[in-house]
Structure 1
């Protein structure tokens, strides 16, 4: 009987020992797990880099032989067969892939791993070779894909929407107002903004446009670019005895700046610039943290603009501002639009979720 009691006591004592762990034990284990995960990620990146290097070297070798020996397409078929036979467990040695490897070596003649494209997965690189027209375009999207961690589908979308032509194209006064940050601020603007995901055309009202953008906030944030966080719509500002409301207010987490977006479904007029300039002055005084946040950025997004009018308005403004255009669906495409009340209902749900006023 005493032996049975002793055994039961010992069995109970094991969990008691496990529960008396030293302080910080679980935090340390979490740190160790992070180290292991980081090693896994680095190992995967290393494997990918070596695979891209191998593909580039295969492509370069074939190109050199083709140039000297005048090989035809049948030789490429035979190479694919030989490689698949020798390495049956390794994918990637199809005839079409060998042609892509040649294209890779032909496009990037410098060592591939020393370039941004060499850090991308093979599927991303194939998209760059298939969808981009020039080497500068390919390098642009390769750099952005690495910088923002784009999936292949996002990369394809950005190429389709010709981001390289739109990024930084908005007219602005950043060089005059915030010269130290003008380059990076210019990069976060676009012209035109593509709002076709709203299902609205140029004849929509400003409230309908605002409703649709908020209802599709994830797509809107994707179009704005990396770093934007949604703060609210119709954001209230009280000045003296008057109340004002900002169309849309965002915060750029990387730049530590608020961004006010004013929407216009017509042409950008001088009074629109003046009103936005007023909003920026008030927001700098009442909204931003002067110790943590940089000056607020204003972005006027209109259906169209006059370049000369924009130049005068921006040059005279003391606050950093930019003006861009937006495009939506044409009239024929609007036949399949959801009812306006459906858009409003979804928008209200998004607002309740974010707690915006």
Structure 2
């Protein structure tokens, strides 16, 4: 038995060393590309006629380097190296968790804060380049800004501040393009649930930091009646249960009442004394914030989040942001009506 444990431990050490070695090699490669970009930029600045010299320099370098070192040093890539240096001018600030593929995707991002957010989140969550690209494509940064301000988003990404309320972790809309369900097709809530469980890893990535899966179709027995909660998660950052009910229709006050019952059950039966109140999310195809507002008491921990089965375009997300701003203005006017009359 001890030999089996020994072999298992040695395998873990070998795999860990391989991963560390691969990361070290990747980082050295990134640093090399940075230094090449720096030298190209400096050489261009020293040229007598910078514009003409710059146009000739990179094609000349590519012609000299490619026969010996391959296509990694094509004119296009050398241009990337130069841009890499100009975008990230401090070599010691480069993150060891990010590969060249990560950085190349970030080069096209003009907003400094947005780029910093994805760097911090990638390093913190060990996202692969593909996972990071998916988060950029789903416009994670912009979606988080719908629920909170820019400084809060960046401070959480930097680990300077932990989420302290449910709004900090709930995305609206949630992007579920990985389910490969066609928006125009007919499907039931059970189909949606099965698809989410099948793609649980992707769904966890979409949910965000600190989530762990607890149960599906969790049975609640109340005085002879049985009820089944669609999905139960736990968020270790907020230290609370998160209950998700799936609706493939526009939500009603009956849906909200059902979720409120589940949340009450978890708060009174499952929650420990050191944990924070349970959060409920109605994940729905279409929501009505006014119905939610007037069905629930103020400061409720129940939220409606719309889901999309396709990646949003910049225009669609801009519309969502504009709607959210208008909605907040309307709510503000309702709470503080104009008394000038």
Does TM, scored on the shorter chain, surpass 0.5?
yes
Q: TM-score, normalization: structure 2? A: 0.70
- Residue 199 of structure 1 and its aligned partner are, at CA, apart by 1.3
Decide whether the 8 Å contact of 1:198 with 1:216 is kept in 2: no
Structure 2 partner of 1:20: none
Structure 2 residue 54 is matched with structure 1 residue 72: yes
In the alignment, the residues of structure 2 paired with residue 275 and residue 261 of structure 1 have an alpha-carbon distance, to the nearest angstrom, of: 11
- Residue 312 of structure 1 and its aligned partner are, at CA, apart by 5.2
Decide whether the 8 Å contact of 2:175 with 2:310 is kept in 1: no
- Residue 58 of structure 1 and its aligned partner are, at CA, apart by 2.1
In the alignment, the residues of structure 1 paired with residue 245 and residue 23 of structure 2 have an alpha-carbon distance, to the nearest angstrom, of: 42
Structure 1 partner of 2:107: 129
Structure 1 partner of 2:257: 274
Q: For residues 145-186 of structure 1, give each alpha carbon's deviation from its aligned partner in whole angstroms, at most 9, with x where no partner exists.
A: 222222222222222222222247469xxxxxxxx9644744
Structure 2 residue 174 is matched with structure 1 residue 193: yes
In the alignment, the residues of structure 2 paired with residue 304 and residue 260 of structure 1 have an alpha-carbon distance, to the nearest angstrom, of: 18
| Matched position secondary structure for 1:72 | helix
Structure 1 partner of 2:152: none
Task: Report the aligned-residue RMSD.
Answer: 3.6
Specify the structure having the higher radius of gyration (Cα).
Answer: 1
Structure 2 residue 94 is matched with structure 1 residue 112: no
Give unmatched runs, 5+ long, in structure 2: 149-160, 312-341
Give unmatched runs, 5+ long, in structure 1: 1-22, 172-179, 331-357
In the alignment, the residues of structure 1 paired with residue 189 and residue 16 of structure 2 have an alpha-carbon distance, to the nearest angstrom, of: 47
In the alignment, the residues of structure 2 paired with residue 263 and residue 33 of structure 1 have an alpha-carbon distance, to the nearest angstrom, of: 42
In the alignment, the residues of structure 1 paired with residue 29 and residue 195 of structure 2 have an alpha-carbon distance, to the nearest angstrom, of: 44
> Which of 298, 302, 310 is 1:321 aligned to?
302
Decide whether the 8 Å contact of 1:77 with 1:95 is kept in 2: yes
Structure 1 partner of 2:228: 245
Q: TM-score, normalization: structure 1? A: 0.67
| Matched position secondary structure for 1:263 | strand
Report the CA distance shift for 1:137/1:315 in structure 2 as closer, same or farther (over 3 A).
farther
Structure 1 partner of 2:125: 148
